[in-house]
């Protein structure tokens, strides 16, 4: 949701101004129509969305249902083929981001020490991010859109398969070249 997206940006990239938060909120709420919500019924500001979610949590309109419980192992990467060390940190990041009430409903917990580790690692990522090459730092779709915006020709396969384009581009940029 909007709150998770903004929290993730602020956690791993950098702080947003209130104007940026509100702008993101207005743009993102249009996507809610795709999941059956009426965008016009939602607040236009980030603080309004936060208050709306808080109210829904408190009066139990927002709760963990059967569908959410069945998806939890995938969201928490228990069913993913991800290296264990990476899985552990991604799971901690997910748990640290969950509101306490939802964590309770899922039957999950995070210790104060794990929360501290998650927040420290997030700060490490935020500090390292500016030093990473663009091919690692940015989403594949962003790189394709950026090339298009710069007037570069984008082949149809690059638009249809941005992750494949990213992989090929990354291998050219990151792997040593033969002389």
Convert the pLDDT of each residue in 69-121 to its tens digit.
888 887 777 766 777 777 888 888 888 988 888 888 988 899 999 999 999 99
pLDDT at 169 over 70: no
User: Any idea which residue has 């009426």 for tokens?
Assistant: 38
130 or 162: whose pLDDT is higher? Answer: 130
Confidence of residue 174 (pLDDT cuts 50, 70, 90): low
Mean pLDDT of the chain: 83
59 vs 21: CA distance, rounded Å = 25
CA nearest to 107, candidates 97, 115, 116, 98: 98
Residue 97 and residue 4 in contact, taking contact as beta carbons nearer than 8 Å: yes
pLDDT at 41 over 80: yes
Confidence of residue 179 (pLDDT cuts 50, 70, 90): low
Residue 144 and residue 154 in contact, taking contact as beta carbons nearer than 8 Å: yes
pLDDT at 2 over 90: no
What percentage of the chain reaches a pLDDT higher than 90?
Answer: 19
pLDDT at residue 110, as a whole number: 92
Taking the mean position of all CA atoms in its chain, how far away is CA 62?
20
Residue 78 and residue 103 in contact, taking contact as beta carbons nearer than 8 Å: no
Confidence of residue 171 (pLDDT cuts 50, 70, 90): low
Dihedral angle of Cα 76, 123, 29, 35, to the nearest 10 degrees = -10
What percentage of the chain reaches a pLDDT higher than 70?
Answer: 87
- Give 25: exposed, middle or buried? Use CB within 10 Å, 0-12, 13-18, 19+: buried
Q: What mean pLDDT comes out for the span 112-140?
A: 88
């Amino acid at each position: 949701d909007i709150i998770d997206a903004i929290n993730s940006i602020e956690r791993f990239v950098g702080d947003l101004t209130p104007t940026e938060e509100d702008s993101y909120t207005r743009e993102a709420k249009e996507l809610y129509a795709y999941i059956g919500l009426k965008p016009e019924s939602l607040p236009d500001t980030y603080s309004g969305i936060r208050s709306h979610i808080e109210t829904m949590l408190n009066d139990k309109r927002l709760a963990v249902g059967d569908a959410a419980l069945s998806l939890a192992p995938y969201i928490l990467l228990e069913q993913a083929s991800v290296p264990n060390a990476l899985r552990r940190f991604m799971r901690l990041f997910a748990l640290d981001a969950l509101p306490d009430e939802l964590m309770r409903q899922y039957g999950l917990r995070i210790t104060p020490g794990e929360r501290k580790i998650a927040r420290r690692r997030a700060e490490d990522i935020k500090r390292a991010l500016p030093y990473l090459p663009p091919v690692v730092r940015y989403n594949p779709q962003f790189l394709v859109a950026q090339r298009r915006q710069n007037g570069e020709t984008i082949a149809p396969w690059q638009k249809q398969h941005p992750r494949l384009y990213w992989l090929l581009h990354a291998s050219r940029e990151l792997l040593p070249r033969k002389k």
